[in-house]
Structure 1
Amino acid sequence: MNEVENVLDWLQSWYSAQCNEDWEHEWGVKIDTLDNPGWSVRIDLEDTDLEAHDFLRQDLRRSKNNWVLAWTSDMAFHAACGPGNLTEALTLFRRWAMENTPQ
C-alpha cells in the first residue's frame, strides 16, 4: 500500500471514529479545489480530542505548483496546497493528530 492509500485509510478511520450520531451532522471533513490550481482542506476539530490543540502554522513554498500552507483556526485544521501536494497536506494533519490524540 502506498502513502496515498495509507493517509486516506487513516483519514477515513479518523472520520469514522468522530461519528457519534451527532458530530457528523454539525462538522466534518471538506476537500475542495482551488483555482490557482491547488487543493483546500478543512477538518473540523470541535468535539474531538484535537479541539484544544494548535497546529503550528506551516508555510512551505517550493515553487509555483509545489507548496503547502497548514494551520488551525476557528476550531478547524486548514490546509491549502499545490495540485500535487494533497497527500502531503493530509499527512501533516495525520502526524499532528497522532501526536495530540491520547492513545
Structure 2
Amino acid sequence: MTGQDLQFSGGPDALTWLQGWYATQCDGDWEHEYGLSIETLDNPGWFLQVDLQDTAMDGRAFPRYEVRRSEHDWLIARVVDMRFEVACGPLNLSEAIHQFRAWVAEQARPLPD
C-alpha cells in the first residue's frame, strides 16, 4: 500500500478523520465508558485500539489483516473483544488508522440490490 492509497480522494488525512470519528461517538455516555488509544510498542511500533461497543461498528465482522514488508514496515489489524486493534511498525501509524477508516467506510456502504 502506497501513501497515495492511504488518502481518500478529497477527504481529510487519517488523523483528522479519526478525530472526527471519535467526536461523533461522544454522546455524553460513550466517552465515559469507551474510547480509543494510541500507544507505542517497544519493538518499535504503534498500537491503536478502538472500542466498538455502542458504535455502528459493534458486532461487525473484520477479517484479520496482516502485512510484513520488512522489520520496521508491518501491520497487523484485527477485532478482538469488541475492539479494533492494530499493531504496526514505527512509520505505519497512518496506515493503521487507514485500515480502520476503510473498514468503517466499507460497512457504511449500502448493500447492492
Calculate the TM-score normalised by the size of structure 1. Answer: 0.92
Structure 2 residues without counterparts, runs of 5 or longer = none
Match of 1:77 among 71, 84, 87: 84
Q: What's 1:59 paired with?
A: 66
Q: What's 1:22 paired with?
A: 29
User: Take 1:88 and 1:17, find their aligned partners in 2: how far apart are those partners?
Assistant: 21
What is the count of residue pairs matched by the alignment? 101
User: Take 2:39 and 2:46, find their aligned partners in 1: how far apart are those partners?
Assistant: 6
SS at match of 1:8: helix
Deviations 1:54-101 (A, max 9, x none): 211011011100000000010010000000000001001000011113
SS at match of 1:89: helix
User: Take 2:71 and 2:82, find their aligned partners in 1: how far apart are those partners?
Assistant: 29
Structure 1 residues without counterparts, runs of 5 or longer = none
Match of 2:94 among 73, 87, 97: 87
CA contact (8 A) 1:50 1:101 kept: no
Indicate whether 1:42 and 2:44 are aligned.
no
Calculate the TM-score normalised by the size of structure 2. Answer: 0.84
CA contact (8 A) 1:69 1:81 kept: yes
User: Take 1:12 and 1:44, find their aligned partners in 2: how far apart are those partners?
Assistant: 14
One-letter amino acid matched to 2:69: R
Shift of 1:16: 0.5
CA contact (8 A) 1:71 1:78 kept: yes
The answer to which structure has the higher helix fraction is 1
Match of 1:8 among 15, 18, 24: 15
SS at match of 1:25: helix
